[in-house]
Structures are given as structure tokens and as C-alpha cells.
Amino acid sequence: MADYQETIPKPITTRFCHHNTANAFLVYYAAQCAEQGIPFSVTGDIPVALPISESDLGALIGNLLENALEAILRDLSLEGGIAFSAQLMNGSLAILVDNPTATLPTYTRDGSLHSTKHHGPGIGTASICHIVKRYNGDCRFEVVDGFFRASVRLPILPAPPPA
């Protein structure tokens, strides 16, 4: 029995943010990174009350973090890890995910990112953009100082009336 208990992963009780769905994804990817020896940091918070469905928020955060982890696992010689940041600013939730990269992204004719797993557009980034557009937000993917940055802005408060 003692041998068996040692094989059971220890639960992670870290609380990264107040939003349960977002926290579950952050805990999962923190554990995945820990298993691979990849640094993982979270700053900021995602509030409990958001005008975004649980499934959309989960898909958004899951795709952002899965893409970052897969990019690092493709080239373990890169220095650095995954940095996840979320903050409320000007009535929007801003999420940034950074991971080291040695290559610049390439784009399809329609402006979508090429997948690194197959020929054609990336499904994860397309899913991210689709969710963000559904909530009238915006997303960007760029390389900044050797780090791939995925940035998402989701309006969470109604816009003030025009003056």
C-alpha cells in the first residue's frame, strides 16, 4: 500500500486566482510545468464574476497555456518558462501569456497563425481568436525580446455612454 501511495500525484493546493475554472487550468498547467522542470509564474487575478461562459474561459486559458507549454517542449534548450498575467484595466480583463521562442511565427494568407503541428492554420490560436471576438475583445500574437506573447483583452464592463 505504501508503494502505491507514493505513485499517486500529490494534490496542488495553490490558489492562483479567485475564478474556479481559471484556477483549475492554472493549477493543471503549473503541475505539467513542474513535472518538466519548466518555470511557471502567475501574476494578477481573474475575478469570480465575469460575463464569459465557464466553457469559453476554460477553452481560452487552456489553449493559451497548452500552446505555450508545447512551444517550450519543442525546444528545451530555451531559457525561461511560462508567465501568465491577468489584470483588470479600463473595464476589460487583460491576459498575457509569454513563453520563450527561437522562431518567429508564420502566417497563412488569411492572417491566421500557421500551426507548428501540421500544415495549415493553428486550431488553438483560431479558437482563442474566435472566443475573444464573440465577446467583442481582441487578441494578438507577437514575438517580443525572444518571447512569444499571446495577449487577450476581453471587455467585462459595459462601455460608458458617449459624451
Rounded to a whole number of angstroms, the distance between the first and last alpha carbons of the chain is 70
Please check whether residue 160 lies inside any domain of the structure.
Answer: no
Rounded to a whole number of angstroms, the CA Rg of the chain reads: 17
The DSSP code for 103 is S
Please check whether residue 142 lies inside any domain of the structure.
Answer: yes
C-alpha cell at 10: 500529490
Average of per-residue pLDDT across 48-55: 91
| CB-count burial class (<10 Å; 0-12, 13-18, 19+) for 78 | middle
* 108 phi and psi angles, rounded to 5 deg: -80, 175
Tell how strand 82-89 and strand 40-44 pair up.
parallel
CB 86 within 8 A of CB 97: no
Of the ranges 9-13, 64-68, 74-78, which is most confident? 64-68
What residues make up the domain containing 107?
19-155
Query: Tell me, what CATH number does 26's domain have?
Result: 3.30.565.10
Helix (H), strand (E) at residue 62: helix 54-74
For the chain, the domain total comes to 1
Q: Tens of pLDDT along 116-132?
A: 554 444 467 788 989 99
Q: Tens of pLDDT along 137-158?
A: 999 988 888 898 999 999 987 6
In this prediction the pTM is 0.81
